[in-house]
Structure 1
Amino acid sequence: MVQKQFRHASGLGHAIINARNQTKRNNARAGRAPDGTDLIVEKKEPGWVRLQSVTQERDLDEFLNTAELAGTDFTATKLNIKILHQDQQNPYLLTEEQERDTADRQQSNAAKLTVPRRPEWDTTTTRHELEQREKSSFLEWRRSLADLEENHDLLLTPFERNLEVWRQLWRVVERSSVVVQICDARSPLFYRSPDLEVYVRQLAQREGKEKRNLLLINKADMLTARQRSIWAKYFKQNQITFAFFSAVYASVDDAFSHSSLNEDVKSILAEDSELTAQDIHILSVDELESLFLKTAPPQEDESQKIYIGLVGYPNVGKSSTINALIGAKKVSVSATPGKTKHFQTIHLSSRVVLCDCPGLVFPNFASTKAELVCNGVLPIDQLREYTGPAALVAQRIPKEYVEHVYGIRIHTRPEIDGGTGIPTADELLGAYAIARGFIRSSKGGRPDESKASRVVLKDYVKGKLLYCHPPPEIDPVEFNKETYKLK
């Protein structure tokens, strides 16, 4: 039996027609064509809208408005427009403008970056009185550094906060005739404490006897001869006593040819009359011991022992330097105990005694936490945010060099699509993870960039991915150019 048709049927066909008519009405109200495309409508704005203040514009709006004001006719093509995607700038790193501002603030507050002083004392001072003075002085020093972070918006390195460790430093400085700061050649100024040198001179004046400072640039084999010459010129201009050393190549038979003058060194000396071969020379073990004797102040009694204090960050190669000296001389090590840590006394020869201070992290400025990771100050295995340090590695080391070291291919966004030519952290780590088979099974087979970051960052800290910081006012790209010449 055929059902009766009602006048107002609500079947599927009627629903589609009604929906289509409703869409047309909505488009008409919104100023669009029936098919939904935008209509060009001349819009008349009231005067108060045209007089609104505009202090910021998007780059494209600024370009179009400037062209309109100039009455310029132009043809825009895709090749003439470069859109930089936000993901090209890592949020955990600073922009160029922020880096300049941070550097200016660091420079203006550099004098406040101090090491704690041991208060003056004499034979009448009791042990309890001295301890109380030391604690008060140390607390005041801690407060001054906290002020730098809180009121000057500056990032400090994680520095030693244990008073007992600083007491070991005080004893080493008091006992030594020469205080040697051992620095990593890849970033000497980061590991150097200028105020420690000031404290050594102040203590010498207080005690009425001469003390001297020496900056030992370890891992100098990572620097080219030209890079050493640039640093040597900087140190000489700033009246810093320095020497280059490499604990890796130091040995008894001097297998590493320290004294040979290759063609690069000869050309450098020919170009700069202020430098000598000794200035850019990498010392052997015997030469280093001779330098200790030469640097030490004159002794009234020739038989009197000369104490050399060795100070440095835990990761700059201080232990390997000492091991090279001990291995060459086959000497024994004795410990001078402290409460929680101790310094060691090492009789290197009949005249030279080394005082090894425990590894000590001095307060210093840093621009970002990523920089601290790349300098080996923060532990890599405990990282939660790894894109910042990885992006810093990608910025510093050319893509072609990374590809050469790892035998991989890094695909970056083309410049026409807003790329900068420098890999992002994701592009670098993703390429390495895929090449090494680091895949997350729980993430649908995505590359394990976290695991890749730990390998890449450790290779950077060890020097497999080599980057060396230049002195101030020197272009980093030009400074490292010779390093990245692929053979």
Structure 2
Amino acid sequence: MPQARRKTPFSGKAKKQQLQAKKNKTLLLSTSSGTSTCEVVSVNYQPRNRGGRGDSNRYALKFYRETDEDLFLKKEDAAKALNPVPEKELEVDPTDFFPSDLSFPKRPAWDFSMSPAQLDAQEQRYFKNYVDQLQASEHWKDISYFELNLETWRQLWRVLEMCDVLLLIVDVRYAGMMFPPSLYHYVVTDQKKNMIVVLNKIDLVPASVVAAWHDHLTTTCPGLRVVYFTSCPGYNLRGASSDKAGLQVRRRKGRQQMCVEGATKILEACKDIVGSDVDLSSWDKKIKEEAEIETEDDEQTEVGETILEKADTSFYTHERYKNGVLTIGCVGQPNVGKSSLMNAIMGRKVVSVSKTPGHTKHFQTIFLTPQVRLCDCPGLVFPSKVPRPIQILMGSYPIAQLREPYTTIRYLAERLDLPKLLRMDHPENDDVWSPRDICDGWAKKRGYLTAKAARLDTYRAANSLLRMALDGKICLWLRPPGFAERKDHFETCPEVKYVKWVQALTSSADKQDTPVTSSSENDDSNGSEAEESGDDDDDDDVGVAKNRFMALLDE
């Protein structure tokens, strides 16, 4: 048996220096002009491996850092009054944030005669030229945070090469800002593959908004399949879904069931794509077997195949449905719920989950069944014009790394009535609120005080509010273009019934005329959980339908 490594002294001073170095870890890259430098911050560095094997920071998120001058102006703006925006401005068009000439880096051409060193040098050179071209473009002043780590983009390239079907997971609250059209055109038009968009976290948004995003995406992107998903269906939650003021509250049960409704929708989309080329009966059987099995939420994680030891310069020649196996690639931005979705599809915890963006740092494969393989890609922030406050609210940038939170608090407070929602008083008994007043009022209510002077801890309060928004307790959702004019249509369209079925929610009016209901043996036992609906716009009595997806198969 090998001996353990000998312990070495490690003082408190050395630990302090280590933490400070981790916090201030930065890298300088030259701009295309060569006359100035842009500071790049690595925001999720991890402790180095003492054994010296592998690089735990190879896939660290890297973003350009704002200048001190910009930071000063934003802090000055935090004292100015809020200007509430009309509901119409909550409608967003994806093409406004992803111009047609703003694409993502794609793997340069290669051949089998190239050595790994040659391929690595070529990709390094290509990526540097790509970033230089962005800096020289007219979009540069409007581009927000995007991934600057080549190693992470290599993971995407490998997943795109291997997969037969690409699963793009987006948070339905910000669906239009998480769907890069360039990725759709590259996968569907250039690679001739199929793409499925998964609208995740639908329990946080009214069903009419989910149906509207489904209509918008399928209309603007021919051949795109859109399905719904939530890892928190009604039967995995307990208690009310919101408090009296309207704050969202989701309390998970200790024992969880497989999210069968969402998994079924993904299975149906894959069946429609592969036809008879791949036998998916084993996946269908797995869903039936896992439907009634309850598992502990804190069960040990089963980790799939990972690639960690060296730079991934390997190349892969795609062969459609190789050996009768369907390969599904899972791609999305950080914190969008890719790992939670994979765990929910598997029916057990196979991927580690964290609220920290960039927690999944390497490509990994997991066999769902002998005929279905899932490939999980690290979260990627694509180049876009998405405003930075939105990127922070949707979890693309770590909240703990923010140097100035007030701009994001302003964006949130101008679209939601935070004082009413949080039931707090103005810290100075005034009628006019500013972003700093919002933070001070929350700090006063929660008792957040600085350690030495016992002043209101504004930064801690801002951090708390942003985390509540990220978790969905303070719930802001954006609408597709034209939603206000067609709101009545989306609230009554048939698609709403399927959204509620995936949420494991059914209304009493729907029980007589739709197949997406529970079996009759459970109708009496679930009436007491009627208040667990996540749809605030639905005035009907809502009940939680305990999952019996066999009722669907009987239709």
Report the TM-score range of the alignment, normalised by the length of the smaller protein. Answer: 0.5 to 0.7
Cα distance in 1 for partners of 2:260, 2:227 equals 8
What whole-Å deviation, never above 9, does each CA across 1:347-382 have from its counterpart, x for those lacking one?
A: 112321111112222222133x33332222222223
2:177 corresponds, among 182, 185, 190, to 190
1:351 match: 371
1:294 match: 272
1:284 match: 262
Aligned residue identity for 1:402: L
1:326 match: 346
Q: 1:389 to 1:288 in 2, by over 3 A?
A: same
1:246 match: 230
Q: Is the 8 A contact 2:426 2:441 kept in 1?
A: yes
Cα distance in 1 for partners of 2:173, 2:79 equals 24
1:408 corresponds, among 424, 428, 437, to 424
2:123 match: 134
Q: Is the 8 A contact 2:82 2:434 kept in 1?
A: no
**Gap regions ≥5 residues in structure 1:** 1-86, 205-209, 257-280, 334-339
**CA apart distance, 1:106:** 7.9
Aligned residue identity for 1:454: N
Aligned residue identity for 1:212: N
Aligned residue identity for 2:412: V
1:237 corresponds, among 219, 224, 229, to 219
1:117 corresponds, among 102, 106, 112, to 106
**CA apart distance, 1:90:** 6.3
SS in 1 for 2:401: coil
**CA apart distance, 1:91:** 6.6
SS in 2 for 1:112: coil
2:334 match: 314
SS in 2 for 1:439: coil
Cα distance in 1 for partners of 2:84, 2:206 equals 30
Q: Is the 8 A contact 2:94 2:180 kept in 1?
A: no
What whole-Å deviation, never above 9, does each CA across 1:218-264 have from its counterpart, x for those lacking one?
A: 111112111112112212221332111002229xxx768xxxxxxxx
Structure (1 or 2) with the greater helix fraction: 1
SS in 1 for 2:134: helix
Cα distance in 1 for partners of 2:94, 2:83 equals 14
1:18-417 equivalences in 2 (<5 Å):
107=96, 110-148=99-137, 151-152=138-139, 154-204=141-191, 210-239=192-221, 240-249=224-233, 283-296=261-274, 299=277, 304-327=324-347, 342-367=362-387, 369-399=388-418, 401-403=420-422, 407-410=423-426
What whole-Å deviation, never above 9, does each CA across 1:310-340 have from its counterpart, x for those lacking one?
A: 0112200001001112225x8899xxxxxx9
Cα distance in 1 for partners of 2:346, 2:93 equals 43
**CA apart distance, 1:88:** 9.0
What whole-Å deviation, never above 9, does each CA across 1:2-60 have from its counterpart, x for those lacking one?
A: xxxxxxxxxxxxxxxxxxxxxxxxxxxxxxxxxxxxxxxxxxxxxxxxxxxxxxxxxxx
Cα distance in 1 for partners of 2:435, 2:105 equals 39
Q: 1:295 to 1:390 in 2, by over 3 A?
A: same
**CA apart distance, 1:450:** 1.9
Cα distance in 2 for partners of 1:452, 1:331 equals 34
Aligned residue identity for 2:165: V
1:448 corresponds, among 452, 457, 474, to 457
Cα distance in 2 for partners of 1:473, 1:285 equals 30
Q: 1:383 to 1:139 in 2, by over 3 A?
A: closer
SS in 2 for 1:242: strand
Cα distance in 1 for partners of 2:105, 2:229 equals 29
Cα distance in 2 for partners of 1:441, 1:129 equals 55
What whole-Å deviation, never above 9, does each CA across 1:50-101 have from its counterpart, x for those lacking one?
A: xxxxxxxxxxxxxxxxxxxxxxxxxxxxxxxxxxxxx9986799998xxx9x
Q: Is the 8 A contact 2:326 2:372 kept in 1?
A: yes
TM-score with structure 2 setting the length: 0.53
Cα distance in 2 for partners of 1:429, 1:456 equals 8
Q: Is the 8 A contact 2:278 2:326 kept in 1?
A: no
Aligned residue identity for 2:392: V
Aligned residue identity for 2:207: A
2:443 match: 433
Q: 1:137 to 1:190 in 2, by over 3 A?
A: same
Q: Is the 8 A contact 2:82 2:435 kept in 1?
A: no
Q: Is the 8 A contact 2:173 2:205 kept in 1?
A: yes
Cα distance in 2 for partners of 1:121, 1:92 equals 55
Cα distance in 1 for partners of 2:83, 2:132 equals 27
Q: Is the 8 A contact 2:231 2:344 kept in 1?
A: yes
Q: Is the 8 A contact 1:174 1:203 kept in 2?
A: no
Aligned residue identity for 2:144: T
SS in 2 for 1:467: coil
Aligned residue identity for 1:156: I
Cα distance in 2 for partners of 1:299, 1:144 equals 42
Considering only aligned residues, what root-mean-square deviation do their CA atoms show, in Å? 4.2
Aligned residue identity for 2:464: V
What whole-Å deviation, never above 9, does each CA across 1:409-464 have from its counterpart, x for those lacking one?
A: 4579878xxx5xxx321332222222122234755x64322221111111011110
> Between Structure 1 and Structure 2, how many residues are aligned?
344
Q: 1:346 to 1:155 in 2, by over 3 A?
A: same
Q: 1:201 to 1:144 in 2, by over 3 A?
A: farther
Cα distance in 1 for partners of 2:84, 2:156 equals 38
2:474 match: 465
Q: 1:231 to 1:255 in 2, by over 3 A?
A: same
SS in 2 for 1:113: coil
**CA apart distance, 1:181:** 0.8
Q: Is the 8 A contact 2:83 2:414 kept in 1?
A: no
Cα distance in 1 for partners of 2:416, 2:186 equals 37
Question: Higher relative CO (CA 8 A, sep ≥ 6), structure 1 or 2?
Answer: 2
